[in-house]
C-alpha cells in the first residue's frame, strides 16, 4: 500500500536529506554490479536490485521523519556520468548512435570495455571537489550536440510516486556539470556549450512538472568555488532559462562544501525559490544569508555535518537556528545536512562491536536523519517537545570533550618538540640521485608497481576466517607468506626491476596503519562509496595518534629475503591517512596530521635500519584536502607538505623516497609537489594520455617521475604498444633519465587474469624503449 509522508507543517519544519547513501547497508549494490560485470546475472536482475535499494532508501527516510525525500540521488555508478547519459554526451568512440543510452555503453564510459568486439578506454576519473568520491569526467567537444537520451530523473520520480512517496528530484546543475567537464581542445571551455545544454535540462524539468513534481533540487556546488564573471553570467542565463521553462516547478538551488562568499549576491539574485547552504563547513555565513535573502525565499540550512560521523550537539545548533526560524517563519526554513549523506556510512546500529563510549559519540546517515527530524520538531514546537534528545546530545558532547581517551600528554610533548631541520633532507636531490643510482644500479626506464597485488577471493576468505577464528595465527601467516612468495617470484620472472611484497596482509592502505596506531577506531559496516563498486571503510580518528610498535618491518624483511632485487617498503603518508579518515573535530586538522607524520617517521626509520633502500610513502590524497578557494591554499599546502617531509627527511641520502598521487590536477599545486622533495613520484596519467605531465614540464620538475601507463580502474588489458605510445608521450615532456614505468595505482581491485598480461606488456614496453624502439 502507498502512503504519504507526514505533514511537515503539522509536526515539524520541513526536513530534507539532499541525498542518501546508494550502496545498501550490506553493500548490496557492489555485489549486484560485480555479478553483472562478470556475467553471473542479467541486466534485469541488476536493475531489480537497484530498484530494491531505492525503495529501501525512501522507506528509511520516511520512517525517520524526513519530509523532503530526494529521488534521482541513486546511481548505478556515478551521478555525473548519469547526467552525461541524460544529455547524450557520449564520445564518438563508444559507438552510440542515438536513442536511449544502453547499460553497457554507460559502463564502458565508466570502466572501459574489451567485449563484443569493442576495445575502448574508460573516461577520465577524478575527485569530486575535496572528497574521496570520484566522478567520471564528461568529455565534450567544441561542436558538442546534446539530446535528451535518458529519462532516469523522471522515471525515478514516477517510481517513488507509485509507492506513495512524493519526492524532490535531484539534478546536478548545468553550470557545475560543464565546469567539471573537459575537452581535448585545450583552448576550448566547455562552459561555452551552455546554450546547447539548457534545452535538455528544460525538457527534463517540464516532464517532471507535468508528472506532478513541485520542487526540484539543482546542485550547483560551483558556487563555493572562486568565480569569474563568466560563471556568474552562466548561472544567470541557466536559471532564467530553466525557471521560464517550467514555471510551476520550484527550484531549490543547492550549494555545499564551503561558503558562498563573494557568490552570495549571485545566488540570491537567481530566479529560484530556495537556497541551500552548508553550515557545517561555513557556519559563519548564516547571519549574512539570513539578512540578505529575499523575504519569500526558502532557506535550507545545512546544520548537520554530512561529511563526518560525530554526533551533533543539538542544543548548540538550535542556538544558531532559532533566530533565523523566528525571523523568517517555519514555512521559509528547511533543515538539512550540509551536503548529501552519500559521504557517510549508513547505520551505526549495525556496529555491534564498537566500544560503547565511542559509539555514543557517533552518528551515521540513519542517525543524522533522526537528528534532522529532532531539529525540525524543536524549531516548530519548541525544545520541550524533544528535550530528552537535546539533553542527551549535549551530555555526550561534553563527555567527549573531557574524555581522557582523546588526549595523550606524551604525544603533545613530542609534537611540541618538532624542529624545522627535521623536515629537510641532508642533501639536495642531485646529490642524492647520484648516490641512489650507484647503489641501486637500475636500468633506464625502471619498472615497478605501486604496491598492492590482487586481493583475490582466497585472500579475502583467509582474512575473514582468521578474523572469526576459523584460521589460527600460524595458519594465516603461512597463507600470507605463500601469497607473498608467489608474487615476488612472479615479479622476478617477468623482469620487474623494483619489487613489492603485494600487501596481502593489508585490508586497506589506511585502515591497516590505523589499526596499529593509537587514537583510531574502526567499523565493520561503515562503508562509503569511493567510485563505482569500490567502497572504503574510513577509520575514525577520535584521539591523539602515536605508534606503539613497528607496523610493516616484519613483512618487508620477509619479502626482501626472497630476492636480490630491491624491495620497496610501502607506507601510507600522513596527509592521506588524515584525508581518508573521519577526523576528530575538536582540534585542528594540521595538529592531527603532524601526530600521524611523527608516527610514520618512526616507521620509515625502522625500515631503513632493517635495510630498505627504497621506501614509498603514498600521498594519494594530498590534493584532495586542498581548500576549494585559492585564498586558503597556501596555509593547507604549507602544513601538508611539511608533514610529508617530516615523515621522509630523517633518512640517509642513499635511501630513495618514493610517493604516489591519485587522480588529480597538478598544475595549480606543482610548486608544492616540488617542495615535497620525494626522489620519485608516481602519478595516475593513463586516462589523460599523459596530459597531467604538462604541469611537471612547465615547472621544470627536477626529480624522477613514474607516469602511470596502465589504468587499473578499468578491466581493459592495454597492449604493450599502447603503453609504449604513452611513454613516448611522456618522453616528449620529460628527459629519459627522469622516467619510471608503472601502473596508475595499486592492483588490489583487479584479478590476476588482468594483471599478469598487463604487467607483462608493461615490462615489454619498457624494454622496447631501452632498445630504442618506438622512435625518439
* Residues that are catalytic: 713
> Rounded to the nearest 10 degrees, what angle do helices 589-610 and 409-416 cross at?
80
- Cα separation, 329 vs 324, in Å, equals 8
Q: Are 643 and 623 in contact (CB under 8 A)?
A: no
Q: Look up residue 768 and give its three cell numbers.
A: 622496447
User: How many CB atoms sit inside 10 A of residue 588's CB?
Assistant: 12
- Cα separation, 571 vs 569, in Å, equals 7
* Strand residue runs (E) in 434-539: 518-521, 528-531, 534-536
The partner residues of 569 in beta bridges, in order of sequence, read 615
- Residue that the C-alpha cell 535550507 belongs to: 300
- Cα separation, 523 vs 539, in Å, equals 7
Q: Are 373 and 66 in contact (CB under 8 A)?
A: yes
- Cα separation, 224 vs 488, in Å, equals 48
Q: Are 300 and 275 in contact (CB under 8 A)?
A: yes
User: How many CB atoms sit inside 10 A of residue 562's CB?
Assistant: 17
Q: Look up residue 570 and give its three cell numbers.
A: 610501502
User: How many CB atoms sit inside 10 A of residue 594's CB?
Assistant: 23
Q: Are 128 and 530 in contact (CB under 8 A)?
A: no
Report helix, strand and coil shares of the chain as percent, to nearest 5. Answer: 50, 15, 40
User: Backbone phi, then psi, for 680, in 5-degree steps?
Assistant: -140, 135
Closest CA to 495 of 743, 770, 763, 769: 763
Closest CA to 763 of 442, 448, 489, 502: 448
Closest CA to 596 of 625, 568, 567: 625
- Cα separation, 292 vs 328, in Å, equals 12
- Cα separation, 680 vs 670, in Å, equals 14
Q: Look up residue 258 and give its three cell numbers.
A: 564551503
Residues 6+ apart with CB under 8 A from 238: 173, 174, 175, 194, 198, 201
The partner residues of 534 in beta bridges, in order of sequence, read 531
Q: Look up residue 62 and give its three cell numbers.
A: 520516511
Residues 6+ apart with CB under 8 A from 575: 593, 619, 621, 622, 625, 640, 643, 644
Q: Are 104 and 77 in contact (CB under 8 A)?
A: no
Closest CA to 708 of 718, 697, 698, 700: 718
- Cα separation, 276 vs 252, in Å, equals 7
- Residue that the C-alpha cell 599546502 belongs to: 637
DSSP-H helix ranges across 39-142 = 43-64, 79-86, 103-111
- Cα separation, 206 vs 467, in Å, equals 54
Q: Are 281 and 260 in contact (CB under 8 A)?
A: no
Amino acid at each position: 500500500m502507498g502512503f504519504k509522508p507526514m505533514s511537515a507543517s503539522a509536526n515539524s519544519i520541513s526536513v530534507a536529506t539532499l541525498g542518501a547513501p546508494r550502496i545498501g547497508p550490506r553493500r548490496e549494490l557492489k555485489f549486484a554490479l560485480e555479478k553483472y560485470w562478470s556475467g553471473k546475472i542479467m541486466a534485469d536482475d541488476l536493475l531489480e536490485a537497484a530498484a530494491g535499494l531505492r525503495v529501501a532508501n525512501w522507506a528509511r527516510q520516511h520512517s525517520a521523519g524526513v519530509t523532503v525525500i530526494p529521488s534521482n540521488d541513486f546511481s548505478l555508478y556515478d551521478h555525473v556520468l548519469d547526467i552525461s547519459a541524460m544529455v547524450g554526451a557520449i564520445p564518438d568512440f563508444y559507438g552510440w548512435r542515438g536513442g536511449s543510452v544502453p547499460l553497457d555503453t554507460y559502463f564502458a564510459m565508466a570502466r572501459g570495455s574489451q567485449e563484443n568486439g569493442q576495445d575502448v578506454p574508460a573516461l577520465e576519473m577524478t575527485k569530486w571537489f575535496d572528497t574521496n568520491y570520484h566522478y567520471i569526467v564528461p568529455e565534450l567537444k567544441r561542436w558538442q550536440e546534446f539530446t535528451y537520451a535518458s529519462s532516469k530523473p523522471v522515471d525515478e520520480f514516477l517510481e517513488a510516486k507509485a509507492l506513495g512517496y512524493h519526492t524532490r528530484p535531484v539534478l546536478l546543475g548545468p553550470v557545475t556539470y560543464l565546469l567539471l567537464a573537459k575537452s581535448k581542445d585545450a583552448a576550448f571551455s566547455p562552459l561555452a556549450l551552455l546554450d546547447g545544454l539548457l534545452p535538455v535540462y528544460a525538457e527534463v524539468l517540464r516532464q517532471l512538472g507535468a508528472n506532478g513534481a513541485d520542487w526540484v533540487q539543482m546542485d550547483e556546488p560551483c558556487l563555493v568555488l572562486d568565480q569569474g564573471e563568466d560563471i556568474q553570467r552562466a548561472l544567470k542565463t541557466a536559471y532564467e532559462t530553466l525557471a521560464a521553462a517550467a514555471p510551476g516547478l520550484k527550484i531549490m538551488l543547492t550549494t555545499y562544501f564551503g561558503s558562498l562568499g563573494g557568490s552570495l549576491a549571485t545566488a540570491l539574485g537567481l530566479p529560484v525559490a530556495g537556497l541551500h547552504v552548508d553550515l557545517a563547513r561555513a557556519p559563519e555565513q548564516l547571519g549574512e544569508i539570513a539578512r540578505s535573502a529575499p523575504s519569500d525565499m526558502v532557506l535550507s540550512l545545512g546544520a548537520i555535518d554530512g561529511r563526518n560521523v560525530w554526533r551533533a550537539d543539538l542544543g548548540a545548533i538550535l542556538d544558531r537556528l532559532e533566530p533565523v526560524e523566528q525571523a523568517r517563519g517555519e514555512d521559509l526554513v528547511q533543515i538539512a545536512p550540509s551536503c548529501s549523506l552519500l559521504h557517510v556510512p549508513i547505520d551505526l546500529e549495525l556496529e555491534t562491536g564498537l566500544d560503547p563510549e565511542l559509539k555514543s559519540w557517533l552518528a551515521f546517515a540513519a542517525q543524522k536523519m533522526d537528528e534532522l527530524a529532532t531539529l525540525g520538531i524543536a524549531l516548530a514546537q519548541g525544545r520541550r517537545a524533544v528535550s530528552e534528545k537535546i539533553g542527551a546530545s549535549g551530555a555526550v558532547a561534553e563527555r567527549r570533550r573531557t574524555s581522557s581517551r582523546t588526549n595523550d600528554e606524551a604525544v603533545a610533548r613530542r609534537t611540541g618538540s618538532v624542529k624545522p631541520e627535521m623536515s629537510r633532507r641532508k642533501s639536495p636531490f642531485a646529490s642524492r640521485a647520484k648516490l641512489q643510482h650507484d647503489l641501486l644500479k637500475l636500468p633506464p626506464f625502471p619498472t615497478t608497481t605501486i604496491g598492492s597485488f590482487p586481493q583475490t577471493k582466497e585472500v579475502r576468505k583467509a582474512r575473514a576466517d582468521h578474523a572469526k577464528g576459523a584460521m589460527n595465527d600460524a595458519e594465516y601467516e603461512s597463507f600470507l607468506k605463500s601469497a607473498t612468495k608467489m608474487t615476488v617470484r612472479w615479479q622476478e620472472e617477468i623482469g620487474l626491476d623494483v619489487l613489492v611484497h603485494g600487501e596481502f596482509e593489508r585490508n586497506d592502505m589506511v585502515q591497516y596503519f590505523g589499526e596499529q596506531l593509537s587514537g583510531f577506531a574502526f567499523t565493520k559496516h561503515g562503508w562509503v562509496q569511493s567510485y563505482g563498486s569500490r567502497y572504503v571503510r574510513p577509520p575514525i580518528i577520535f584521539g591523539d595518534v602515536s605508534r606503539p610498535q613497528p607496523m610493516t618491518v616484519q613483512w618487508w624483511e620477509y619479502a626482501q629475503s626472497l630476492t636480490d632485487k630491491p624491495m620497496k617498503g610501502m607506507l601510507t603518508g600522513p596527509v592521506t591517512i588524515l584525508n581518508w579518515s573521519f577526523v576528530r573535530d575538536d582540534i585542528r586538522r594540521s595538529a592531527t596530521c603532524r601526530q600521524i607524520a611523527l608516527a610514520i617517521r618512526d616507521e620509515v626509520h625502522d625500515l631503513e635500519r632493517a635495510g630498505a633502500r627504497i621506501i614509498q610513502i603514498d600521498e594519494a590524497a594530498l590534493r584532495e584536502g586542498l581548500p576549494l578557494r585559492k585564498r586558503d591554499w597556501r596555509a593547507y599546502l604549507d602544513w601538508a607538505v611539511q608533514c610529508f617531509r617530516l615523515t621522509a627527511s630523517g633518512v640517509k641520502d642513499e635511501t630513495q623516497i618514493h610517493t604516489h598521487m591519485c587522480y588529480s590536477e597538478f598544475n595549480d599545486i606543482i610548486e608544492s609537489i616540488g617542495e615535497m622533495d620525494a626522489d620519485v613520484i608516481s602519478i595516475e596519467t593513463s586516462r589523460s594520455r599523459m596530459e597531467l605531465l604538462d604541469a611537471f614540464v612547465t615547472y621544470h620538475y627536477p626529480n624522477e617521475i613514474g607516469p602511470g601507463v596502465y589504468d587499473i580502474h578499468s578491466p581493459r588489458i592495454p597492449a604493450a604498444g599502447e603503453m609504449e605510445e604513452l611513454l613516448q608521450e611522456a618522453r616528449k615532456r620529460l628527459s629519459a633519465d627522469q622516467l619510471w614505468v608503472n601502473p596508475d595505482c595499486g592492483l588490489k581491485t583487479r584479478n590476476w587474469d588482468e594483471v599478469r598480461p598487463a604487467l607483462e606488456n608493461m615490462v615489454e614496453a619498457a624494454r622496447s624503449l631501452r632498445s630504442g624502439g618506438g622512435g625518439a
